[in-house]
Structure 1
Amino acid sequence: MFFETHFKVIISCVILLVVLLIIRYIVLILVKKIGRKSGINEARIHLIQRYSTVTLFLIGLLFLSVILGAKPQDLALVFSSVFAVIGIALFAIWSILSNITSGVIMFFSFPYKVGDKISIHDKDFPIEAVIEDIRAFQLHLRLDNGNLVTYPNNLILQKAVTLVQKDAIDDGHDAI
């Protein structure tokens, strides 16, 4: 009796799940291909894959609520309330969100890779260093004197950067 009454809803939910899994699979493959083609390390590829999975999950919840009969007015009320609370919370941590967003942008369009020596043109604190790691929130830069500098992702996108030397990290192999 239950399945007969709710057959269309169950089928719609199953179709939604299958479609979201297919889209997730395609997105994960594309992100991995783009990351490997660009020479990005595996940790950053996995980070972007997690971001895309969470985004698809949230979109799936939205569609699921519509399938289960939520009215647009109710959804608007819930989402506006949730976004108001999230907005207030994120206002306090806006720089973290800014760095995460910058990290995603850098994944797709940052022209420098781990091992490159760059010069950051900052009038207060100019830096010339080798990129040691690119993380979700910051770059790890190794100065010539051996000091490690963490530089926020959102600032690296705001400053002029020059490539000084490609693949400056010595990998232990001497050229003959």
Structure 2
Amino acid sequence: MWAFVQKNKNDIIYLSLLLFSVLIGPYYRKLKTEEAKKWAGTILGIALIIIVSGYSAIHPICSALIGVIIIKVTTIRYCHVATFFFMFAYLFFFRFADKFGFKLSSGQTNLIQMIIVLRVIGVAFEMNGSWLAVVNPKKKGNEEISKINDRDEEFIELINPNIIDLVHYSFNYIGLLTVYGGVGL
């Protein structure tokens, strides 16, 4: 039995954390304020990253923080491009770290890194898409404006979250471990 546990230690930890994520859900939903949910989700997410990745947690945490800073430093017009190139360049470095003289991280850390990349790039594209929806119709003349009036105007708004909300979104525990099916651990 002990040999089985030793051989499958990473899988057991991963499964335990998945179960923990599911079991904590009802308590998370009971939190009263939006602010409490944001902070609880972020703290749980960062804790999961550290537990799963150990010292390699530096990669997803730093890349997410740098990606968020890039989103806020560049204009909303180009934030998606700058974020896309940085995050995928870092992912390339991360996946081929052994070629650069560094130790490769675990499969679970690889999963978390990919989820973080998709979250940060996704929010940058959402921000840019909202900017395009608000700005471009005004440039094209009255015909485009009338097309917007045919749609539901309340859904057209500029999405530009502050840096803290971007950090909360990037590190929230929900979905941080669930995409991965455990293959290749």
- By the TM > 0.5 criterion, same fold? no
Normalising by structure 1, what TM-score?
A: 0.29
- Work out which structure has the larger RCO, using CA pairs closer than 8 Å and 6 or more positions apart in sequence: 2
Q: Which structure's residues are more often helix, by fraction? A: 2
Q: Which structure's residues are more often strand, by fraction? A: 1
Normalising by structure 2, what TM-score?
A: 0.28
